[in-house]
Amino acid sequence: MRTVRTVIVVLVFVAAATFAAGVVYVKSTGLRALPEPGPIETRLARMIRGLAIPRAVRARTNPLEASEEAVWLGLEHFARYCAMCHGNNGSGENTPIGRGLFPKPPDMRTDATQSRTDGELFYIIENGVRFTGMPAFGTGEENPAADKLAWQLVHFIRRLPRITPDEIGQMEALNAL
């Protein structure tokens, strides 16, 4: 009985200390969206995101062939709906909406995005990322036309590390803002 009481006291103490640390953190940052997250916060957020994507979804492969047409259609959609946060080049730097988001939109050209499976990228496009500016573009229901567009976006995201100045110029003509 004494061991159970000790465990309960320790758990209450840990919970209280965690709550106090959270309050101190919130008071120090004010939950402002401007500062960059620190390395611990970034690592924790990525770990949680990784756990949130079901294993079966992570294992999915893109059912569309990586044709120039599929990449072009992904580029068009990205320019109209994604570039305002992620930038035409995928860097996420200094974009009209992205600069006010917290966390900042990721640089989609880096290994942190490019190492994601096609299924993970599809899932993020369809379901968004809670507590960020990334909205869900899916409906939560089977929609072959919307799924095709999301898979085209996955092909375009794979192209971002090699995007050309001509492609960026084409995107600028399509940008919504």
Indicate the domain borders of the chain: 1-31, 37-174
pLDDT tens track for 44-76: 777 777 778 899 989 999 999 999 999 999 999
74-85, pLDDT tens digit by residue? 999 999 999 999
Cα of first residue to Cα of last residue in the chain, in angstroms, is 66
Quick one: pLDDT at residue 29? Answer: 65
The highest-level CATH class for domain 37-174 is: mainly alpha
Do 173 and 141 contact (CB within 8 A), yes or no?
no
Cis before residue 103, ω within 30 degrees of 0?
yes
Tokens of 14: 């840990």
Q: Which residues contact 82 (CB under 8 A, 6 or more apart)?
A: 153
What pLDDT, on the 0 to 100 scale, is given for residue 42? 74
Closest CA to 132 of 48, 18, 22: 48
pLDDT band at 119, cuts 50/70/90?
Answer: very high
Q: What average pLDDT does range 121-146 have in this prediction? A: 87
Q: What is the pLDDT of residues 135-172, one digit of tens each?
A: 998 877 878 888 999 999 999 999 999 999 999 999 99
pTM of the model: 0.77
Distance in angstroms (rounded) separating the CA atoms of residues 175 and 79: 5
Higher pLDDT, 158 or 29: 158
